[in-house]
Amino acid sequence: MIVSIFEVAGPIMVGPSSSHTAGAARLSRLATLFLNQPFRHVSFGLHGSFARTYHGHGTDLALVAGALGIRQEDEEMKRAFQIAQERGITYDFYPIDLGDAHENSVAITFTLEDGSTTQVVGSSIGGGRVLVTSIDGIDTELTLDSPTLLVIYEDRPGMLSRICAELAYANINIGVLKCSRQKKGGQACSVIETDSPIPQDIQQTLTQLRGVQNALILNPSEA
Amino acid sequence: MYSHFASMLALCQEKHWPLWKAVCAEETELTGRDEESIFARMEHRYDIMAQSAQKALDNPLLGHTGKPTLITGLAQAHQQYAQRGNTLCGPVLNRMMARALSCSEANASMGRVCAMPTAGACGIVPAVLLTLEEELSIPRRKVLEALIVASGVGAVITQNATVSGAEGGCQAECGAAAAMAAAAAVYLMDGTPEQSLQAMSHALINVMGLVCDPIAGLVQIPCAQRNASQAMNALLSADLALAGMVCPVPPDEVLEAMYRTGKSLPPTLRETALGGLAGTKAGQEIAREIHGA
């Protein structure tokens, strides 16, 4: 079997729909992991089914709740708008056409405290599972089902081998590795899924490597 | 290792295992989780299921907007009806239906539920197991074993077919839940692994072709009715199997038939809120009221 019984008996979640609430809340919460400072405004571009049915399913509440760090199983989700107001965080929703993206997709744009923005695009692909498809314009494919290392770096020879070496030293096996880049010699992004949890100190080692702009470790226990 | 019902059953026969044991062994192989941790995780899920099956019996649950949903109050009303002495299905089955409705109502009100296998079908397995646990005074450990049987059956359905209404219609969501609950109910009655899988087959056969047609696209009507009716389907299918009924089509082929039937349903009858009940004049009017023109 390749399907776990806990995929069947689960997720534990706030209703009514694993795609429209649980997945939406999780995606939005995971998107905040890509921010390097607090945000003051978040804007949700809704695509496909999300755009048509978001209010009836409470997807709007779920997305705001996720951005506030409220987990997909927390009934506080219902109070998300109120909690945002209490924290002085504003939000808005608008329809967007993301082309042939999954029906339940959203472009989440955070306005950070220094006025800069970060955009994360992703989909809620069913059963509470999510797929992050783009981070600040760089295409990626992040499911966050296994421990994941995300590295953004300059596209030049030897970078990937240095990054992978750090995992080898820590005796961590790589399950899946995906590389993408904006353009030749531009900004590159690698998503590395591993078979065991990734120690946080690898992040520091990697960010000290010349050419590495950002490294992020996401272990599913936090996801 | 197994991947289908036939190989699952063969493993039980070879090792002289009950179904739950085979499912646990498979889960350990897949995730490295040991038996004790599987039971602990399942127990937590069962607690969540029990809470959602009780929640709307005590109080009608409002929607996230603070207004009633299309199904607010159904569970409590049914629970009160179940207490009357003159019901057709009797107090036990009516209480079971009230529990299934409670899970649906909790789900529709943005309350916490455990998807089983989906949020829309989250009332069926809990209603059946909680009711049998109470009526037959079954020890908790055995109920958790039954929950593992249900989940193992659901995993085979997920792997070889689908449990998504958008892909396979309601037969794939509430139908799969009924099949899972039927197999678990047989186990609770000390039936054989073979009889569990026959009950699974009967449940799918009884629901084959059922469409997913939610009014206004919301997980409320007819999802609530179908949670109640599929809990009943699970029990009657378990009884058919325990009485000795054997379907001439093997379980894996019944599952395949369900999958193919789902695939051949037109998109209007697969969660798009365009056909079936959602497509009626009244259904469309409700949708306009909720979503605007």
**Which site among A2, A4, A5, A18 would you substitute to test the B interface, given the most B Cβ atoms closer than 10 Å to its Cβ?**
A5
B40 interface with A at CB cutoff 8 Å: no
What confidence tens digit (pLDDT) does each residue in B11-70 have?
999 999 999 999 999 999 998 899 999 999 999 999 999 999 999 999 999 998 899 999
For residues A6 and A89, give the distance between their C-alpha atoms in angstroms, rounded to a whole number: 35
Spatial separation of the C-alpha atoms in residues A32 and A66, rounded to whole Å: 8
Does domain A5-136 match CATH 3.30.1330.90? yes
B150 to chain A, any CB pair closer than 8 A? The answer is yes
Per-residue model confidence (pLDDT) at position A221 = 61
Alpha-helical (H) ranges within B190-278 are: 193-207, 223-242, 251-263
Report chain A's mean pLDDT, rounded to a whole number: 92
Chain A residues close to B112, C-beta within 8 Å: 12-15, 73-75
Helices (H) and strands (E) counted in chain A, each on its own, are: 7, 11
Q: Say yes or no for a CB contact (<8 Å) between B180 and A75.
A: no
Question: Which of A17, A56, A75 comes nearest B119 by C-beta?
Answer: A17
CATH of domain A148-222: 3.30.70.260
End-to-end Cα spacing for chain B: 53
**C-alpha dist (Å) from residue B261 to B3, B168, B258, B264, B275:** 21, 7, 5, 5, 17
Give A-chain residues touching B154 at CB under 8 angstroms.
5, 8-9
B/e letters for B129-157, b = 16+ CB within 10 Å, e = fewer, are bbbbbeeeebeeebbbbbbbbbbbbbbbb
| Cβ–Cβ below 8 Å for B31 and A57 | no
The lowest-confidence range among A215-219, B46-50, B187-191, B240-244 is A215-219
Alpha-carbon distance of B176 to A31, in angstroms, equals: 33
A12 and B112 within 8 Å at the Cβ level: the answer is yes
Is the CB of residue B113 less than 8 Å away from at least one CB of chain A?
yes
Question: Which of B110, B118, B217 is facing A78, going by the closest CB pair?
Answer: B110
Check A15 against B110: CB less than 8 A apart: yes
Task: Name the minimum distance, in Å, from the CA of B180 to any CA of chain A.
Answer: 10
Cα(B65)–Cα(B202) distance, integer angstroms: 40
ipTM metric: 0.96
Percent of chain B with pLDDT over 70: 100
Would you call the peptide bond into A11 cis, given omega within 30 degrees of 0 as the criterion? yes
B136: its two tokens: 């037959």
Number of structural domains in chain B: 1
Among residues B151, B75, B154, B147, the alpha carbon closest in space to that of B108 is found at B75
Note whether A65 contacts B: Cβ–Cβ < 8 A: no
Q: Hey, is the C-beta of A17 within 8 angstroms of any chain B C-beta? A: yes
Q: How far apart are CA A40 and CA A42, in angstroms?
A: 7
Q: Pick from A15, A53, A61: which is nearest to B119 by CB?
A: A15
Any idea where the domains of chain A sit in the sequence? 5-136, 148-222
Q: Compute the mean pLDDT over every residue in chain B, rounded to the nearest whole number.
A: 96
Give the span between the Cα atoms of A14 and B107, in whole angstroms. 7
Please report the pLDDT score of residue B210 as a whole number: 98
**Domain coverage including residue B287:** 5-291
User: Does the pLDDT of residue A66 top 80, yes or no?
Assistant: yes
Residues 64-103 in B contacting A (C-alpha not used; CB under 8 Å): 64
- Per-residue pLDDT of A84-114, as tens digits, reads 999 999 999 999 999 999 889 999 999 999 9
Here the CATH number for the domain that contains residue B93 is 1.10.4100
